[in-house]
């Protein structure tokens, strides 16, 4: 194994291959606070990519209700139980990653879901963390909670699927960091399914190969965000390019959210893959739970998000979520307006921080009529 640097862990770690970061890394931020679990993203992906024979059960994109939701079943709990001692010292991870805790004869610590684990794609939907006692809904704050977690492939910097494949059939594109299964080379051993801790590689029994999210690379190559981003009703997603921490730029939307404001956090960083989908943690969830999912900085991220209304630059950037189909490489706030531009500096979107509001009087004085809100 090679020694590589994982900035999410604040330390070096062991990985199957030497560090080889792409020229630029596709990355995304999902705002969990805005997701309503309408599953439009899931259907957009399903319709576009996985409508064929053998793909019936596949959800390259899924939305699960935390704490109980999971697809495939208990994908997270099983590995968390296998991976002992996930302690942090400040920003440094003291525990072992799935690469460092690989059993003898294995490349990573993993497990393989069985058919029935895929049978309940929305198990736990809208289930609260605790039983709601009679009358509890009448008081504030509500002590019970759940939130929605939308998931796609994380296009990790250190993919476990890639490390697991004994044939080198999985590769990370040097031009954009997207992780793909070579469908001409895969022999369907399912080692990648076993290795990926997020279980975002799926075996297709009709083609006999494993398949996964491709980040809609044909769209990204044309500067357009993936299907699950542009179809999102809640406008919770923003796709872009993430720099290394030491090269972060304040005008890069992803860098600003992840590296500078540290408001968007990786999912299960302790696994060690340096995943590239980042989450703004839910602000009504106990911070201890958020820390287990999103790492030790969850508390600070929740605090910063709560203050976003008083933070013009952050609020402005959050307004760009779902505002355009195009990938935004740079953003700038000027007064009450925020603009996004593509990689060539061409402005692709301009939105106000606050939408103009006009309040129509309830009574039409001229016609002596009371207005109603029905059409």
Stretch that binds another protein, among 105-113, 146-154, 253-261, 364-372 (CB under 8 A): 105-113
Q: Which two tokens stand for residue 241?
A: 């390019």
74 binds another protein (CB under 8 A): no
Q: How far apart are CA 119 and CA 114, in angstroms?
A: 9
Q: How far is CA 205 from the centre of its chain?
A: 27
Q: Between residues 211 and 255, which has the closer beta carbon with respect to another protein?
A: 211
Check if the beta carbon of residue 286 is closer than 8 Å to that of residue 145: yes
Stretch that binds another protein, among 50-58, 134-142, 300-308, 316-324 (CB under 8 A): 50-58
Residue 273: helix, strand or coil by DSSP?
coil
Q: At what angle do helices 287-294 and 298-306 cross, to 10 degrees?
A: 120
Q: Between residues 6 and 50, which has the closer beta carbon with respect to another protein?
A: 50
To another protein, the closest distance from the beta carbon of 259 in angstroms equals 34
Q: Contact letters (x/-) for another protein, 147-166, by CB under 8 A?
A: -----------------x-x
Q: Between residues 120 and 189, which has the closer beta carbon with respect to another protein?
A: 189
244 binds another protein (CB under 8 A): no
To another protein, the closest distance from the beta carbon of 312 in angstroms equals 46
Q: How far apart are CA 98 and CA 87, in angstroms?
A: 14
To another protein, the closest distance from the beta carbon of 129 in angstroms equals 29
Q: How far apart are CA 240 and CA 233, in angstroms?
A: 19
140 binds another protein (CB under 8 A): no
Q: Between residues 195 and 234, which has the closer beta carbon with respect to another protein?
A: 195
Q: Between residues 151 and 297, which has the closer beta carbon with respect to another protein?
A: 151
Annotate 147-174 with DSSP letters as a single string: EEEEE-----SS-HHHHH-TT--EEE-T
70 binds another protein (CB under 8 A): no
Q: Which residue has the tokens 């605090």?
A: 303
Q: Between residues 14 and 207, which has the closer beta carbon with respect to another protein?
A: 207
106 binds another protein (CB under 8 A): yes
Alpha helix (H) ranges present in the chain? 40-49, 75-82, 160-164, 191-195, 217-220, 227-230, 253-255, 287-294, 298-306, 312-319
To another protein, the closest distance from the beta carbon of 225 in angstroms equals 22
Stretch that binds another protein, among 46-54, 268-276, 316-324, 365-373 (CB under 8 A): 46-54
What is the DSSP-derived secondary structure letter of residue 227?
A: H
Q: How far apart are CA 191 and CA 110, in angstroms?
A: 9
- Ranges within 180-239 binding another protein (CB under 8 A): 183-191, 193, 202-209, 211
To another protein, the closest distance from the beta carbon of 189 in angstroms equals 4
**DSSP bridge partners of 28:** 239, 277
Please count the residues of this chain forming the interface with another protein, following the rule CB under 8 A.
42
* CB burial of residue 135 (10 Å; 0-12, 13-18, 19+): exposed
The binding site for another protein (CB under 8 A) comprises 49-57, 104-107, 112-115, 117-118, 164, 166-168, 183-191, 193, 202-209, 211
């Amino acid at each position: 194994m090679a020694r590589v640097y994982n900035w999410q862990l604040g330390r070096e770690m062991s990985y199957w291959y030497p560090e080889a970061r792409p020229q630029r890394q596709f990355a995304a931020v999902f705002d969990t606070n805005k997701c309503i679990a309408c599953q439009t993203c899931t259907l957009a992906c399903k319709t576009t990519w996985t409508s064929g024979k053998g793909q019936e059960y596949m959800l390259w994109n899924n939305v699960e209700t935390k704490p109980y939701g999971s697809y495939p079943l208990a994908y997270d709990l099983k590995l968390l139980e296998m991976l002992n001692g996930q302690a942090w010292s400040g920003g440094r991870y003291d525990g072992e990653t799935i690469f460092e805790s690989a059993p003898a004869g294995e490349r990573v610590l993993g497990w393989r879901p069985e058919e029935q684990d895929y049978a309940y794609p929305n198990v736990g939907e809208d289930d609260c963390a605790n039983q709601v006692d009679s009358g509890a809904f009448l008081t504030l704050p509500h002590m019970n909670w759940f939130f929605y977690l939308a998931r796609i492939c994380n296009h990790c910097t250190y993919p476990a699927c890639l490390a697991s494949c004994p044939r080198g059939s999985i590769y990370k594109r040097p031009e954009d960091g997207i992780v793909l299964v070579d469908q001409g080379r895969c022999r369907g051993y399912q080692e990648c399914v076993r290795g990926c801790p997020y279980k975002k590689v799926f075996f297709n029994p009709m083609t006999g190969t494993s398949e996964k999210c491709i980040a809609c690379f044909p769209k990204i190559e044309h500067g357009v965000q993936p299907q699950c981003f542009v179809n999102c009703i809640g406008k919770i997603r923003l796709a872009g390019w993430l720099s290394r921490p030491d090269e972060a730029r304040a005008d890069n939307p992803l860098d600003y959210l992840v590296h500078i404001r540290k408001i968007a956090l990786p999912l299960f960083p302790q696994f060690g893959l340096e995943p590239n989908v980042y989450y703004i943690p839910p602000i009504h969830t106990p911070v201890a739970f958020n820390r287990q999912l999103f790492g030790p900085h969850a508390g600070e991220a929740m605090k910063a998000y709560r203050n976003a209304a008083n933070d013009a630059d952050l609020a402005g950037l959050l307004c760009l979520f779902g505002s355009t189909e195009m990938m935004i490489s740079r953003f700038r706030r000027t007064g009450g307006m925020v603009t996004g531009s593509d990689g060539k500096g061409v402005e692709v979107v301009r939105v106000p921080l606050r939408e103009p509001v006009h309040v129509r009087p309830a009574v039409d004085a001229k016609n002596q009529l009371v207005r109603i809100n029905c059409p």
